[in-house]
Amino acid sequence: MAPTRAHPTSTRPQAAGTRPETAQTPTTHARAAAPRRRFLRTLGAGAATLLALDVLESLAAAPAAAAPPAAAPAPATTPGPPAPPAGGSDAAPHDVLVRMRADLKRALRKPATQRRWAMVIDLRKCVGCSACTIACVAENKLPPGVVYRPVVEEEIGTYPHVTRRFLPRPCMQCDNPPCVPVCPVAATYKRPDGIVAIDYDRCIGCRYCIVACPYNARTFDAGERYTDGTPEVSPVERLPAFEYGQRRTRQHDTSPVGNARKCHFCIHRLEAGLLPACVSTCIGRATYFGDASDPDSLVSELVARPNVMRLKEELGTQPRVYYLL
Amino acid sequence: MKRALYVLWAVAFALGAWGVWERLTLGHRLAGYGSYVVWGLWVSAYIYLVGLSAGAFLLSSLVYVFGLQRLERIGKLALFTAIVTLLVALLSIWFDLGHMARFYKVFTSPNFSSMMAWMIWLYTAYFVLLLAEGYLVFRPDLVRWSRDPARTPMQRAVARWLTLGRTALDAATLAAERRAVRVLGTVGVPLAVAFHGGVGALFATVSAKLYWHQSIVPILFLTGALVSGGGLLTAMVAFAWAPRDDAWRELTRVLGRLLLVLVLVDVLLEWAEFSIPLWYGTSPEGHLLRQVLWGPYWWVFWIVHLGLGTAIPVALLVAHGRDPVAVGTAGLLVAVTFMSVRLNVVIPAQLEPALRGLERAFVGPRLVFQYAPTVHEWLVTLFVLAVGAALLWLGSRVLPLIDGKEVAR
């Protein structure tokens, strides 16, 4: 299901403190509204001959009708590398993955410093299957004790009125990250694209950043393997991972063993034009990803919804992961 | 008695060395800490030992800065204890690092927004100051030892080497050195306060852990340092002092009084620490404090800390303040049991999931909000303590820790 475009942002009520700063800047706002205004002007001129009732009806329908031109440009008309063919092996033409891949390609054509990655997780769609957790473990070859994106389950109510809530918890990639200033050797840092990264070769393994994270989003690689103590270490556990675009095979005492580790929005996949593993594998399409500095991206639309929230907003960490309730 | 102690030490050292071998070959795999409780026994031992160092140093400054003559004779012992406890504290935290070989990066690529970087640089400055002050304080006696035929050839050789070739003993040199010691000691007091307050602030500045995120925490670290360091010095003077004369009796009495005051002040601050968040029962960190008081490790607080570490020493100091053995026992109890306070600082804060239900979200032995030190961790800590004991013993053999003429006036 592709989310439909909402009313023009200028007329929509906003949830205080939940909008990303990029959507609030006048320039991006104007850029977003321009095609719509042109469209409305044409529409208005053509409708001048119509009855007043008809005019009102067409104006009322305009925002919905305006969606296709304002949404992601079609691959055929866009310069640069073509987007994956719609209706590919894992995505139907109307699948949000198609839109998000196009958003991603568009973002990659911008200078790296102008991208602002953001993730939106729709809690109403999450069924708690943990496919994202496992996809992440497989993608990044995570060992025992290390997890980047657990799905937190909560049971609410008492029988017979019981519901469950599922809350996937990646790294929030905070704009004001408490884990970054605490690092004694500056091994963890905020990238211009918003991702909080770790320099594995600089990290001394003091774990101060882990205690400083208010989301428990960092874990420690103690050097274990799932197949320790079995006759053979699984070949899978001897495969390299490609976090941060670096090829690393886990071995005793060499990084990332002994380091703090965390979700990095699969930077290595992003830079190859792929969505993060958790996004691609979400069976309910509950996780959205994209460039929040691009007003035409899906995430930019979603973070302006009234039902958006962020975890522990009161701490002032400014997470770049948003939840839809 | 002495022989039994040597045997005990040898056993402790051998077991500890086994633990260190495990640590060096297997990394962190045998440790009980994991991804949610990331700091355990070794971090607790580190803050305990640096606390002893800061406490011992601040007490030595009573002699060298404030000229407290009644404590004059413990000046050198306090200074040497401060050096040794700092060294073994660093040993403990070194074993805790994920990458031991990268420790130098705290100097080559420091990040001064980090309270940990500040702490490291402050204790480096503090260590350099301790060595400089130690050299100046010990040098005149070392020169005398190097010429004293009553000393063994070994002691004379070590003393000569430790003087670094400066053998002048004339009044002008000694006076200049006394002034230098006073200046270093004076600089050292704010440095020791900043450094150990910095250790407390390392915890207190972490807003993610409400249990640590309290203004009183760095202050408690300082009083804790004075209490534990004072206890250790009192015990050392009471039990390991060579001339058991009237002066020794008087010294233990004064140290006992001082310790009593320090313990009572610490109890007062601790009352504030616990009573304020718990009073109305609605504070966000309240349940962690209740965990300390009534959780599975209740006995660490009530029996080890309040019973053995506070009530019994206070009773001994009040009722038998003139008996060196009672005072020494009180000091030993205070110093040893203070480790329980350090454990109760480090561990409880990490026992609470940041999000409710996280403890069941993705499970594994290292993804739990529980912690108890493993045998391996105890062995490594045993090694650290055995090294500390060996250094203190060595110091008592090659350094004029107790006898000889004091430099301060």
Q: Contact, A285 vs A96, CB < 8 A?
A: yes
pLDDT band at A16 (very low <50, low <70, confident <90, very high): very low
- Give A50's pLDDT tier (boundaries 50, 70, 90): very low
What pLDDT sits at residue B404? 45
Cα dihedral A45/A47/A52/A53 (nearest 10): -140
Residues of chain B with pLDDT under 70: 403-409
CA B4 to chain CA mean position, Å: 25
What is the third-level CATH fold of B2-398?
Answer: Formate dehydrogenase/DMSO reductase fold (1.20.1630)
pLDDT in tens, A154-199: 999 999 999 999 999 999 999 999 999 999 999 999 999 999 999 9
Instruction: State whether B35 and A220 contact (CB < 8 Å).
Output: yes
pLDDT digits (tens, 9 = 90+) for A247-294: 999 988 899 999 999 999 999 999 999 999 999 999 999 999 999 999
- Which ranges of chain A does DSSP label H, i.e. alpha helix? 21-24, 26-46, 52-65, 67-70, 96-109, 131-140, 208-212, 267-270, 277-280, 298-302
CA distance A21 to B152: 76
Which position has the token pair 């006036």?
Answer: B409
Measured on CA atoms in the order B203, A320, A205, B117, is the torsion positive or negative?
Answer: negative
CB contact under 8 A, B355 and A169: yes
8 Å CB contact between A211 and A217: no
Question: Which chain B residue shows the shortest CA-CA distance from A146?
Answer: B35
- Count CB-CB contacts under 10 A for residue A34: 11
Task: Please check the confidence at residue A7 and state whether its pLDDT lies above 60.
Answer: no
Element (H, E) at B46: helix B41-64
Place of tokens 């977003």: A32
Position A92 pLDDT exceeds 80: no
pLDDT at residue A89, rounded to an integer: 53
Domains: count for chain A: 1
Cβ distance of B38 and A153 shorter than 8 Å: no
Residue B244 DSSP class: -
Q: Do B365 and A145 touch (CB under 8 A)?
A: yes
Option in B97, B105, B357 nearest A152 (CB): B357
Cβ neighbourhood burial of A75 (10 Å; 0-12, 13-18, 19+)? middle
Hey, is the C-beta of B99 within 8 angstroms of any chain A C-beta?
yes
> What is the tens place of the pLDDT at every residue in B116-159?
999 999 999 999 999 999 999 999 999 999 998 988 888 899 99
Which pLDDT score, from 0 to 100, does residue A49 have?
Answer: 38
pLDDT at A84 over 50: no
Asked if B213 is an interface residue toward chain A (Cβ–Cβ < 8 A), one would say no
Confidence at residue A13, expressed as pLDDT on a 0 to 100 scale: 37
Whether residue A202 and residue B102 make contact (CB cut-off 8 A), yes or no, is yes
Identify whether the C-beta of residue A118 lies closer than 8 Å to the C-beta of residue A289: yes
Is A223–B29 a contact, with Cβ atoms under 8 angstroms apart?
A: yes
Residue A39 lies in a domain: no
Report ipTM for this prediction. 0.93
A265: left (phi over 0), alpha (psi -120 to 50) or beta: left
- Residue A78 pLDDT: 38
Domain interval for residue A214: 72-324
A203 contacts on B by Cβ (under 8 Å): 98-99, 102
Q: What is the CATH number of the domain that holds A305?
A: 3.30.70.20
B182 Cβ partners below 8 Å, 6+ apart?
Answer: B64, B65, B408
Going by C-alpha positions, the residue among A121, A223, A97, A203 that lies closest to residue A170 is A121
Residue B150, pLDDT score: 87
